[in-house]
Amino acid sequence: MLFRTYAHAPLDAAARRPPAMGLALLLAGLCISAGAIAQVTPKDVLVLFSNNRLLPANIEVDRAMRERIASTAAQPVEIFQEFLDRPLFSGEAFDRNLATYLREKYADRPPRAIVAIGDPALNFVLYHRPALFPGTPVVHVGIDKSYLQTLRPTLAPLLGVPVEYDFRGTVEQALRWHPGTRRLVVVTGTSPRDRIWEAQARADFDDLAVKPAVVEYLAGFSTEALKVRLQTLGAGDLVFSPGYYRDGTGRDYSPRDAIAGIAAASTGAPVYGPFSAFVGTGIVGGRMPANRDMGRFTADAINALLEGVAPQAVALPAVLPAVLQVDWRQVRRWGIAEADIPPDAVVFFKEPTFWDRYRVQALLATALFLIQALLIAALFFERRRRRHTALALERSEHRMSLAARASRLSTWIWEVDRKSPEDAGTAASPLNEVLDTVHPADREELHQAAQQAVERDEELDVEYRVLEPGGQVRWIAARGRAEKGSRRITGVALDITARKEAELQAQKDRSALTHMTRVSMLGQLSASIAHQLNQPLAAILGNAEAARKMLGKPELDLVELRAICDDIISEDRRAAEVIRRLGALFKRGEMTLAPLDLNALVTETLELVRTELTTRHVEAVAELAPALAPVDGGRVQLQQVLLNLILNAADAMAGIAPARRRLVVRTELLGTRVRLCVIDQGSGIAAADMPHLFDPFWSTKPGGTGMGLAICRSIVEGHRGTLTAANAPDSGAVFCATWPARQGA
């Protein structure tokens, strides 16, 4: 029989399941941890389902199997799953392609055991096993006992627990509960599996001990026509159905969805089914095997095989019998007496008794009474300890007060907004009064931070300035926490004016050092600067002399004279631009961030140092990325970084042959970031020097200050970027600065 059922988890059973599942998961975690420590290679198991992965029966069996393996396996087990997706996919070509896929997929990790769920999966495995996994034992799940008897006995190793889907037992029990039944209506579909179910039903119902007057088979109906027919049923009618995969129109269903529609349409006659997945869909019940039992027995078989037990020696039940399972809500709906339900029946959705419902609460109440008695007995002892604790607390508060005064800490309580008159009597200060003493530039930020701390129940950690009556400014660092259920913040404050003044002075010193380094570097470029200015000045002089000679001629060429004047103006502007750029480099001031084209900056900087590089016999090459996104940066500061890296690269190549002195400046776009790299052909960076490369006052150059690279890194990080150094694959060093591209560029 094809395995298609799924044991629907009842509400009362689901309510009691989490502790057991939590214990199972804990045991599984312990097993996995132990396996990881011992570094044991997991043993692989391949599970092949006949249908798709979302079929409820597949989910139920898989969950039960995994829980059992996790709690009982002696070694780590890796479970792989594959699906035939019957009946949507079938045929020799499909099976052949799937077999090829499985053989190639698991060629390097052949499974130690194969689990075939449903007879399509079993047929597939038995047919293709010689080419796929010869000799690997197969565990079958959900296979009807009668079907297994048709297989050849030479297909060993093959083991599992056969199932019996008791169509006849289900109907016989229904007839005992409904003795006045005159007509039995059997509903099936049109797929090959539906036809098998119909044939089984006809064989089982032909020789019922108590047979209704009419047995009507509804097969091949469209779902809509079937619902109309079922709505006409009434007293004296009884419906049995295994569900169906396909109705008369060729539309595909899952059996559980089909039986749910049948039960909803059959409002006048009770509905019974043979699969545990149907419980909870509206049927009364039936004699059916439990899918969770299938999963547990499958796990036991897998564990035995992985422990080395021969397949024929694995102890398993001869058959998984059908058990009567009923929905208590449907039992009451159709008037079935509770006394008529056999004691071994599994009843779902039955309301629990007082003890079942409140057992935990009763046990907790008893435990609370015992705990209360123990607490009362301990109060006398605790009273004495409380006195000692109060004294110790007083001493601790005194020490805390001394420590706070020594560290210049002060405590405060702010009331963010007073909404009730009783708040006026507290020791809290209104936030508005506190803000009046705060520097106007910091008031809004402090107010928003306090509001956010209260609304989001977060810590407050701010620094702000306070105006003294004499006009002096003090810096305060405040940290606190909002009180639960109130608009009040409690915290401490620390005067950090001295620290802020030291930071400001350090910032000024760093700015001065950066400026001095830039001026010193420009001093090294005096030849290049002179060359930059000599070119336009020489052009101006030549044009002026030509104009003076033309003025001495009897006939003036005004067109040529005007062109000479235009050349003089152009060269004058060119010289002025050089002076302007040099003035910006010599100027000392705050960094101003603006959209900056790195390609243009590289071109301009290489032109500035071209004479210096020519003197040193260094060939400079620019490899610029097209359509490079701009960055937000200070032009002067970033040009200082580029100049420093270029000159360092030239210094690094001073000791090699002039023909090899090649310097590359490259720009790249890396996603949302822009990178600038300077690459030389020198001897590279020694491994011992690499950790100290950017340390202040550390240098490998004779007479070097050791501040160049440190300042460069500081400037790049101030632009939210990074500066890194590495050795090139062949020779030389690579210095790369990376910045985020400008947003909206």
| CATH number for position 613 | 3.30.565.10
- Same structural domain, 437 and 346: no
Shared domain for 383 and 476, answered yes or no, is no
Output the CA angle 504-509-512, nearest 5 degrees: 130
- The DSSP element (H or E) to which 187 belongs, if any, is strand 183-188
d(C-alpha 136, C-alpha 394), whole Å: 77
How many angstroms separate the CA atoms of 192 and 116, rounded? 20
Indicate whether 456 and 560 sit together in one domain.
no
Helix and strand tally (H, E) in the chain? 20, 24
Least confident of 147-156, 337-346, 471-480, 648-657: 147-156
CATH classification of the domain holding 444: 3.30.450.20
Domain count, the chain: 6
Pairing, β 183-188 against β 214-219: parallel
**Residue 512 and residue 464 in one domain:** no
Identify the DSSP state of 321: -
The helix (run of H) or strand (run of E) holding residue 188 is strand 183-188
In a domain, 402, yes or no: no
Lowest mean pLDDT among 203-207, 507-511, 646-650: 507-511
Q: Please check whether residues 550 and 623 belong to one and the same domain.
A: no
Q: Is residue 243 part of a domain?
A: yes
Strands 631-633 and 594-596: antiparallel
For residue 77, what are the contacts with CB-CB under 8 A and spacing of at least 6? 42, 43, 45, 69, 302, 306
Residue-wise pLDDT tens digits, 496-548: 777 776 667 656 555 555 555 655 555 555 555 665 565 567 667 766 766 77
| Same-domain status, 561 and 480 | no
Q: Is the pLDDT of residue 491 over 90?
A: no
403 lies in some domain: no
Query: Is the pLDDT reported for residue 65 higher than 80?
Result: yes
568 domain-assigned? yes
Domain end among 339, 374, 397: 397
Please check whether residues 91 and 159 belong to one and the same domain: yes
Q: Is residue 684 part of a domain?
A: yes
Same domain assignment for residues 706 and 617: yes
pTM listed for this prediction:
0.41
The mean pLDDT value for 629-652 works out to 86
Closest CA to 737 of 728, 720, 726, 724: 724
The residue among 470, 495, 520 that closes a domain is 495
| Residue finishing a domain among 542, 560, 590 | 590
Do 160 and 236 fall into the same domain? no
Long-range contact pairs involving 62-66 (C-beta distance under 8 Å, separation at least 24): 62/295, 63/295, 64/291, 64/292, 64/293, 64/294, 64/295, 64/296, 64/299, 65/115, 65/295, 65/296, 65/298, 65/299, 65/302, 66/295, 66/299
User: Could you tell me if 9 and 91 lie in one domain?
Assistant: yes
| Structural domain range at position 608 | 593-745
**131 plus 11 within the same structural domain:** yes
Pair 586, 598 in one domain: no
* Domain-located, residue 417: yes
Q: Residue 744 has what pLDDT? A: 66
| CATH number of the domain encompassing residue 213 | 3.40.50.2300
What strand order describes the sheet that includes 237-240?
214-219, 183-188, 237-240, 271-272, 285-288, 323-327, 346-348
Question: What is the CA angle 73-77-82, rounded to 5?
Answer: 130
| 658-690 confidence digits (pLDDT tens) | 989 999 999 999 989 999 999 999 888 888 888
Are 220 and 195 within 8 A, CB to CB? no
pLDDT at 297 over 70: yes
Cα–Cα distance between 35 and 76 in angstroms, integer?
Answer: 6
Residue 390: strand, helix, or coil: helix
